[in-house]
Chains A and B, each alone.
Chain A
């Protein structure tokens, strides 16, 4: 059994977890980093169908709200899945609706399309399961420029569940948490 060093998501301490593949922690980190960099380029180059192919058939694309709550009630800040009105709660079909409409030339929120730049980093491998499933967390900055002078800067983090499939990775569950309460953008017709 190969053992890699990862950061436990709850305690933020280093733990050792077995992996199904013969990868060191460093190899896994490097491979995932490359995966996320490739993903960011697909988004910024508007290759949305190729981007969607990085997800599994049973994907969940989830973005909860972020509430203002007192620090002692921090457990209420991010409403858990299934309890609230999130910004995104999408399966593959709904993601396909969102992407197909971009192909139509009549998705006015993105016509002409935004200029985006996703910077993804701070990769932490949180957990590796017996079957090779990886739980990973990344931080991102995304700048959006639209039309003549509309701009928005999004920052946040993503927690992914990834599976090794045919020599690459597929994301089955993505949770995106923005660092914002009132979204300072006219609409959110881009992806993270």
Chain B
């Protein structure tokens, strides 16, 4: 294990080793080297608005409690009793004063401090140091209401971790000072490796094929636009990659769906432009729209999580984010669209999973492992830009982000600590007043 160096991608040819999806040793190392180190999106401020509120979530395979302390602070606690590892919280969410283990009633505060142990004097003889037996706490930070956590003491700040990906993310998550709220999630189990769902976030090549039936039916019944190959090949937006995070953006007005779509959500109200200009500057507010995106390692398409459950098993969580700036009618439409298209019942998402599953299982075939996958679309056709941060594809349809994602995966897997993991320098110009949390 130690000293193993993974070279799973040939950047010259796009050759990709499919055993990264199926190998048990690789999976175990991902849990420590990636999910044990990265800032992981685990929740949203709006899920725990009041003191005593908690929401049960996961950091990789680790069950964690996201709780709001009596002083309003946000805590992220490993949901495993320090005594024997039983879980303190069994509900999806709720409100309480303390977390009580159902095995022996060790009792912890909202901040994870061990407050009470039955028989502390009688059977522990007063020899138990409760101050050393609090619940394991993760580092926690928020961006625009999104709650992230990491187990790594040596991880950079969340702001540095997101880097200039935030220049793009702001356009959706930070558009209004009124913020967003999270609803959901759908939870379901997909028989896939988690990485296939993540790299798919920059894959517009599959859209006219995988999602043809849904898009065509929506064209016929609802008058929605079709995403044809021709249309996508002419898009002016590009794929951008920063620090492991994948972004596809649309350029306005050229790529606009205005007048063509009644229901593709921008998650923002039409009349928010003045505030958006103030917060994001003229250019970001009016000339660019955030498209599909993922945050390294396992956040997919907005506020959705691909939670690893084994090499060929992934638990999906599908939340909807609605804007507090929207009218109730607009919020309701956003939720309806989220319900219909993605999630376990989504007529778009339903058609992805068997493809991802087959891509994942290609690693089981010795014959195919010798061939390898070909993630070679658009190799050599990339650029950088003074305005748009990150590594950019020359066309909207590209696998440039896929290659960067697997290079980033190698950087984490081959690093001994965060000291070995590079961060892209922040170079973007952040016009407007929007910050990480204001």
Chain A residues near B (Cβ < 8 Å)? 63, 65, 67-70, 73, 82, 84-90, 93-94, 96-98, 100-102, 104-110, 147, 150, 181-189
User: Within the assembled complex, what's the spacing in Å between the Cα atoms of A177 and B221?
Assistant: 28
B282 within 8 Å of A by Cβ?
A: no
Stretch with Cβ within 8 A of A (4 or more), from B22-30, B353-361, B366-374: B353-361
Chain B interface size range: 35 or more
The A interface, classified by DSSP as helix, strand, loop or mixed, is loop
User: Within the assembled complex, what's the spacing in Å between the Cα atoms of A183 and B191?
Assistant: 12
Partner of A89 from the list B90, B213, B339 (CB cut-off 8 Å) is B339
Stretch with Cβ within 8 A of A (4 or more), from B126-134, B291-299, B342-350: B342-350
User: In the complex, what's the smallest C-beta–C-beta distance from A71 to chain B, in angstroms?
Assistant: 10
Partner of A183 from the list B187, B217, B221, B347 (CB cut-off 8 Å) is B187
User: Within the assembled complex, what's the spacing in Å between the Cα atoms of A189 and B335?
Assistant: 19
User: Within the assembled complex, what's the spacing in Å between the Cα atoms of A106 and B210?
Assistant: 8
Number of CB contacts from chain A to chain B under 8 A: 131
Does the CB pair B187–A104 fall under 8 Å? no
B435 within 8 Å of A by Cβ?
A: no
List the B side residues contacting A69 at CB < 8 Å: 91-94
Stretch with Cβ within 8 A of A (4 or more), from B157-165, B178-186, B402-410: B178-186
Does the CB pair B217–A100 fall under 8 Å? yes
B212 within 8 Å of A by Cβ?
A: yes
List the B side residues contacting A147 at CB < 8 Å: 354
Does the CB pair A187–B221 fall under 8 Å? no
Does the CB pair A183–B319 fall under 8 Å? no
Given contacts A65-B186, A73-B91, A184-B188, 13 further A-B contacts (CB under 8 A): A70-B94, A85-B319, A87-B339, A97-B340, A98-B347, A104-B213, A106-B212, A107-B213, A107-B214, A107-B350, A182-B189, A183-B188, A187-B346
List the B side residues contacting A65 at CB < 8 Å: 184, 186
Does the CB pair A182–B187 fall under 8 Å? yes
Binary CB contact string for chain B from 326 to 341 against chain A (1 if under 8 A, 0 otherwise): 0000001001101110
User: In the complex, what's the smallest C-beta–C-beta distance from B355 to chain A, in angstroms?
Assistant: 7
Closest B residue to A89 using CB positions: B339
Does the CB pair A85–B320 fall under 8 Å? yes
User: Within the assembled complex, what's the spacing in Å between the Cα atoms of A4 and B217?
Assistant: 44
Closest A residue to B90 using CB positions: A68
List the B side residues contacting A101 at CB < 8 Å: 213-214, 216-217, 347
List the A side residues contacting B191 at CB < 8 Å: 150, 186
Given A68-B90, A84-B184, A107-B213, the answer on whether A186 and B347 have CB atoms closer than 8 Å is no
B202 within 8 Å of A by Cβ?
A: no
Partner of B343 from the list A87, A109, A110, A182 (CB cut-off 8 Å) is A87
Does the CB pair B221–A104 fall under 8 Å? no
Does the CB pair B217–A104 fall under 8 Å? yes
User: Within the assembled complex, what's the spacing in Å between the Cα atoms of A11 and B94?
Assistant: 28
List the B side residues contacting A68 at CB < 8 Å: 90-92
The 5 closest A-B pairs by CB, nearest first: A85-B184, A109-B350, A101-B213, A183-B188, A187-B350
A-B contacts, 21 listed (Cβ < 8 Å): A63-B345, A68-B91, A73-B91, A85-B183, A85-B339, A88-B345, A90-B340, A94-B340, A100-B217, A101-B347, A106-B216, A107-B214, A108-B354, A108-B355, A109-B351, A183-B186, A186-B357, A187-B188, A187-B346, A187-B349, A189-B347
